[in-house]
Chains A and B, each alone.
Chain A
Amino acid sequence: MSRYSVFRLFREGLRNQTGWTRAWRAPEPKPAYDVIIIGGGGHGLASAYYLAREQGITNVAVLERGQIGLGNVGRNTTIVRSNYLFPENNLFYEKSLQLWEGLEQDLNFNVMMSQRGVINLYHSDSQRDAYARRGNSMRLNGIDAELLDRDQVRALVPVLDFDNARFPIHGGLIQRRGGTARHDAVAWGLARGADRLGVDIIQNCEVTGIRRDGGRVVGVETTRGYIAAPKIGIAVAGHTSQVAAMAGIRLPIESHVLQAFVSEAVKPVLDHVVTFGAGHFYISQSDKGGLVFGGGLDGYNSFAQRGTLPEAEHVINEGVALMPLLSRLRVLRQWAGVMDMTFDGTPLICKTPVQGLYINGGWCYGGFKAVPGSGWCFAHTVAKDEPHPFNAAMTIERFRDGAMVDEKGAGPFPWLQ
């Protein structure tokens, strides 16, 4: 499996594209590995990649129930940013953003990282003060943030309705290094990168049980037989509760459904990622021209990978209030994913009460931007059996100990995070 390059592209052009080989192998599962990662989504693949690359553990299997890239890594709105208030969050997400910035060179794969800037709009004096506080918190930790007034926002994004009667736009907080990346390419690039380092990516292999010997894990039962490993990492997004239950662990997580939408393609109208400050709505324009947008959860426990109409109507109402031109466009596609919502909106990257079992989950709806940082921290946690300082706060015990990282201050209700 050779490197991708412009010379390779040129050579294949001359010989009718006949020399391309598959980007990763399709190995049979071995009887035993050093580490098994359950879940071949963004977080699972990144974890395996960084286990091999940073921790030197290459005898790793990624077990995926279906095929890689069909879960939440292919169902998000592709936004990448690190504009959080609390240091427990913004240092972690900043590490992730820095990894994003080098990911294409690291992986030799074009993930179409586009640092077009993320603008959070504010609509009142008190919201401006809150955003100034968040921007200051970011800058104290070395992260770029800039408070914009109304005219500065208008110069960047003229298509917004600045004089909306109920929620006029007063300005915004911009993180210029934030932006978007191509979601599918991230999954494919990480799969190829992990495979090149010796990781076995085993698709169509569903884990049906976790075998324990007393207080520690020894392997997993799968639809393709028993596979032994002294260390097992769970990275299964919406089904984190179900897989953890196989090892007898109960978690502070509920699964909720989140929808996203894309409009028909239009000429460039929106150069940045923009979020509405008076409701839950975020929008950007894809390279193909479609406006990609989403909002909040449907609001009740669900494992259905489809949204329902009341929330769709609400999201589109918000969009039209923010960008009236949306009312003239048609929604081309709508889809949904299952979010593993924690009670404070912050994820879990941690050890568990079972020796050798680790959890990477509870991503709520912020998982995509975290993919490389989460894999990097999870690989460290699994390899060293202790967390890195970046993920030290992301434990299960924080809820019992009253040390929640509640960025939004919404209270212990997963459907409100």
Chain B
Amino acid sequence: MHRIDCPWCGVRDEAEFSYRGDATVKRPPADGGAEGFYAYVYDRTNPKGWHVEWWHHVAGCRQFLKVVRHTVTHEIRSVAKATDEVAAPPA
């Protein structure tokens, strides 16, 4: 069971959130080409360790959050706003 500390709503149960995947990929410009869009949509590091990821607080404030979570222990290191720059800690 994950408990996510939403910057707007406080600590909430994972059941209120919807997972939206890897938050480190960047959408290329419109002329980014097939390779650029392939990388954005499909190419993933899939780390066994710290993962920066989107969670949508869909049954709460409806904000997108950037969560740093460990994919083995499920520990949550930090929860930030969507516009914050967040780096994954070293494995």
Contacts and interface: CB of A to CB of B under 8 A. Distances in A.
Nearest to A344: B42
Interface hub of B14, B21, B44 (most chain A Cβ within 10 A): B44
A240 to B, nearest CB: 9
A301 interface: yes
B57 to A, nearest CB: 14
A335 interface: no
A interface majority secondary structure: mixed
A131 B38 CA distance: 32
Given A304-B71, A304-B73, A299 B19 contact: yes
Contact of B42 (A242, A300, A301, A343): A343
Contact of A255 (B35, B42, B46, B53): B46
A302 interface: yes
Contact of B53 (A241, A301, A308): A301
Interface in A235-260: 239, 241-242, 250-255
B42 A252 contact: yes
Given A253-B44, A399-B42, A304 B74 contact: yes
B38 A415 contact: no
A102 interface: no
A303 interface: yes
Given A255-B71, A415-B19, A308 B44 contact: no
A165 interface: no
Interface in B1-51: 1-2, 14-15, 19, 21-22, 34-35, 38, 41-46, 48, 51
A309 B1 contact: yes
A413 B14 contact: no
Contacts of A303: 48, 71-72
A241 B38 contact: no
Contact of B21 (A241, A250, A413): A413
A330 interface: no
Interface residues of A, number: 25
A198 interface: no
Interface string A292-304: 0000000111111
A414 to B, nearest CB: 8
A342 to B, nearest CB: 9
A309 B74 CA distance: 13
A343 B46 CA distance: 13
A123 to B, nearest CB: 24
Interface hub of B42, B53, B73 (most chain A Cβ within 10 A): B42
A146 B35 CA distance: 43
A412 B42 contact: yes
Contacts of A242: 46, 48
A333 to B, nearest CB: 20
15 contacts: A239-B48, A241-B45, A241-B46, A250-B44, A253-B46, A254-B22, A300-B19, A301-B46, A301-B53, A302-B74, A303-B48, A400-B35, A400-B38, A413-B21, A414-B21
